[in-house]
Amino acid sequence: MFFTKNVLPLSSLNASSCKASGTLDEWLSQWSAKPCTAVRIRQVPQRALKELFFCFYIFIFMADNFLEKRMEQYRAHSSASSNNKSKDSLATLLAKNRSTRGYDASYKVRIDQLRRIVAVNNKLASARNRQPLRFRLVTADEAQKVLPFIRMGAGLKELGLPLAGTEPNAFIVVCSTIEPRNSTYVDLGISVQSMLLQAVEMGLNGLCIMDFDCDRLAGSLQLQYSPLLVVAIGKSAEKIRLVDIKENDDHSYYRENGVHYVPKVVVEDLIIE
């Protein structure tokens, strides 16, 4: 019982006590015998008082049942919607998390958005919990310090991606405080994928870029640590579709009629005996 449990002690408002006339009579007569400055209770007929209290009890019980039902509906609805949300949200984020090489130039990614994306990193696994990765945030005012040193879409060289006017204007340059070893690259993968999923959740997209001029980028941004990977971030201006393939089919991505197609090996072929 929502109301009686949360607002009124049930023991003080029990319907059976209403019917047990002795109890109520005693209580009423005690109550009406007490001096009252505002109203002369003694002058109110006891029968009218009883009826008034009975109506009050009925009202409380009706309100109680109504609120209880509403609470149950609310709990059922919120648990169902949170289940749905958590069930399809990862699938949706993963599907939307496509490597994007064309961005809406009118959309400038803000520094606070980059900070929010990088903030996922203090919740991630890291080999021996070393946490060697550091992140240099680059917004539109510094984009020219990065753009000349990165290469995008090597699989479609003839297109010269990114197309003029669709270049990314924000980047996260991931650096390592230690000489990279195998586990550093595992940390790197966990970090970058988590950041990209965060970006997608925020309505943005990104691209991992390992094809870049390390020394010139480090010099351009005056980095104190060696850069391992550049993540471009922005508002996508591309149409990208996934295509199922068998493991021995061609894996190359391609474009047709303005749509970028990305072949992905079907799950049955990913699982080995």
Interface ranges with ligand FMN (CB under 6 A): 98-99, 101, 151-153, 207-211, 253, 262
Classify burial at 247, counting beta carbons within 10 Å of its beta carbon; exposed 0-12, middle 13-18, buried 19 or more: exposed
Comparison of 204 and 209: residue with beta carbon closer to ligand FMN:
209
Q: By C-alpha distance, which of 92, 93, 94, 98 is closest to 262? A: 98
Comparison of 135 and 253: residue with beta carbon closer to ligand FMN:
253
User: How many other C-beta atoms lie within 10 A of the C-beta of residue 117?
Assistant: 27
The secondary structure of the chain in percent helix, strand, coil, rounded to multiples of 5, reads 50, 20, 30
Comparison of 127 and 208: residue with beta carbon closer to ligand FMN:
208
Query: Which residue's beta carbon is nearest to the bound ligand FMN?
Result: 211
Report the nearest approach of ligand FMN to the CB of residue 240 (Å): 6
Comparison of 101 and 136: residue with beta carbon closer to ligand FMN:
101
Coil, helix or strand at residue 136: strand
Report the nearest approach of ligand FMN to the CB of residue 155 (Å): 7
Comparison of 102 and 132: residue with beta carbon closer to ligand FMN:
102
Report the nearest approach of ligand FMN to the CB of residue 257 (Å): 18
Q: Encoding tokens for residue 156?
A: 């479609």
Report the nearest approach of ligand FMN to the CB of residue 188 (Å): 8
Q: For residue 94, what are the contacts with CB-CB under 8 A and spacing of at least 6?
A: 197
Comparison of 13 and 175: residue with beta carbon closer to ligand FMN:
175
What's CA 132's distance to the chain center, in Å? Answer: 26
Report the nearest approach of ligand FMN to the CB of residue 219 (Å): 19
Comparison of 70 and 264: residue with beta carbon closer to ligand FMN:
264
Q: Which residues of 47-74 are buried (b: 16+ CB within 10 A; e: fewer)?
A: eebeeebeeebeebbeebeebbeeeeee
Report the nearest approach of ligand FMN to the CB of residue 107 (Å): 20
H or E segment to which residue 16 belongs: helix 15-19
Classify burial at 161, counting beta carbons within 10 Å of its beta carbon; exposed 0-12, middle 13-18, buried 19 or more: buried
Report the nearest approach of ligand FMN to the CB of residue 208 (Å): 4
Coil, helix or strand at residue 246: coil
